Amino acid sequence: MLRTALSRRRFLAGLTVSAGMLLLAACAPSAPSPTPTPAPAAEKPSEKPAQKPAEAKPQPAGSKIELFWFLPLSAAPEIKIWEDFVKRFQEAYPNITVKGSYEPWNDYWVKLQTVMAGGAVPDVIWLHYTRIHEWASKDVMRPLDPLLQTDKIDPNEFVFIEGFKYKGKIYGLPKDNGITALWYNIDMYQKAGVPLPTKEMTWEEFLERAKRLTIDDKGKTAADPDFNAQKIVQWAVTMVTTSPRGEGFWTWYKSLGGKLYDDEFKHCLIDQPESIEALQFMADFRAKYRVAPMPGAITEPGDPFRIGKTAGTRGHHATAFFLREEKRTFKWDETFYPRGKGGLVISGGATGFAIPKATRYPDQAWILTKFMTSEEQQKIIIAQKRWASGLRKLVPLQYDPEYHTPNYKMIHVDPLTGVGPQAEPAPSPAALAEIEQVWNSAMDPVWLGKVQVKDVVRDLKAQIDQLLQRPTRI
The residues that touch another protein, with contacts defined as CB under 8 A, are: 6, 8, 11-12, 15-16, 18-20, 22-23, 26-27, 110, 113-114, 116-117, 135, 138-140, 230-232, 294-297, 299, 356, 433-434, 437, 440-442, 444-445, 448, 450, 473
**How many Cα atoms within 13 Å fall on the side-chain side of residue 212?**
14
184 contacts 405 by C-beta, under 8 angstroms: no
* Shortest distance, position 188 Cβ to another protein, whole Å: 19
* Shortest distance, position 439 Cβ to another protein, whole Å: 11
Tell me whether residue 7 or residue 156 sits nearer to another protein (CB atom). Answer: 7
3-state DSSP: the chain helix, strand, coil percent, rounded to 5? 40, 15, 45
Amino acid identity of 385?
K
Q: Which among 421, 412, 426, 419 is positioned nearest to 349, based on CA atoms?
A: 426
Tell me whether residue 100 or residue 445 sits nearer to another protein (CB atom). Answer: 445
* Shortest distance, position 447 Cβ to another protein, whole Å: 8
* Shortest distance, position 248 Cβ to another protein, whole Å: 18
* Shortest distance, position 116 Cβ to another protein, whole Å: 5
- Name the 3-class secondary structure at 105: helix
393 contacts 403 by C-beta, under 8 angstroms: no
* Shortest distance, position 141 Cβ to another protein, whole Å: 9
Q: How many H-runs (helices) and E-runs (strands) does the chain carry?
A: 16, 14
* Shortest distance, position 408 Cβ to another protein, whole Å: 35
Tell me whether residue 11 or residue 403 sits nearer to another protein (CB atom). Answer: 11
DSSP 173-201: EE---EE-EEEEEHHHHHHHT-PPP-TT-
Tell me whether residue 242 or residue 378 sits nearer to another protein (CB atom). Answer: 242
* Shortest distance, position 228 Cβ to another protein, whole Å: 11
Tell me whether residue 327 or residue 473 sits nearer to another protein (CB atom). Answer: 473
Tell me whether residue 355 or residue 391 sits nearer to another protein (CB atom). Answer: 355
Q: CB-based contacts of 6: which residues, under 8 Å, 6+ apart?
A: none
Give the distance between the most distant pair of CA atoms in the chain. Answer: 99
Tell me whether residue 3 or residue 327 sits nearer to another protein (CB atom). Answer: 3
In this structure, the number of other CB atoms found within 10 A of the CB of residue 424 comes to 20
Q: Which among 67, 141, 122, 72 is positioned nearest to 387, based on CA atoms?
A: 72
Tell me whether residue 35 or residue 440 sits nearer to another protein (CB atom). Answer: 440
* Shortest distance, position 120 Cβ to another protein, whole Å: 12
* Shortest distance, position 110 Cβ to another protein, whole Å: 5
**How many Cα atoms within 13 Å fall on the side-chain side of residue 122?**
25
The Cα–Cα gap between 343 and 40 comes to: 52
Q: Which among 129, 246, 143 is positioned nearest to 176, based on CA atoms?
A: 129
* Shortest distance, position 171 Cβ to another protein, whole Å: 13
Tell me whether residue 23 or residue 383 sits nearer to another protein (CB atom). Answer: 23
Tell me whether residue 25 or residue 76 sits nearer to another protein (CB atom). Answer: 25
Q: Which DSSP state fits 99?
A: E
Residue 147: alpha-carbon gap to chain centroid: 24
The Cα–Cα gap between 297 and 23 comes to: 48
305 contacts 236 by C-beta, under 8 angstroms: no
Q: Please, what sign has the CA dihedral across residues 11, 17, 18, 19? A: positive
Beta bridge partners of 173: 353
The Cα–Cα gap between 34 and 151 comes to: 28
* Shortest distance, position 244 Cβ to another protein, whole Å: 15
For 62, 142, 359, 457, the CA distances from 133, given in Å and listed in that order, are: 38, 13, 19, 24
Q: Where is 401: in which H helix or E strand?
A: none
In this structure, the number of other CB atoms found within 10 A of the CB of residue 249 comes to 22
The Cα–Cα gap between 465 and 434 comes to: 12
Tell me whether residue 4 or residue 46 sits nearer to another protein (CB atom). Answer: 4
Tell me whether residue 198 or residue 441 sits nearer to another protein (CB atom). Answer: 441
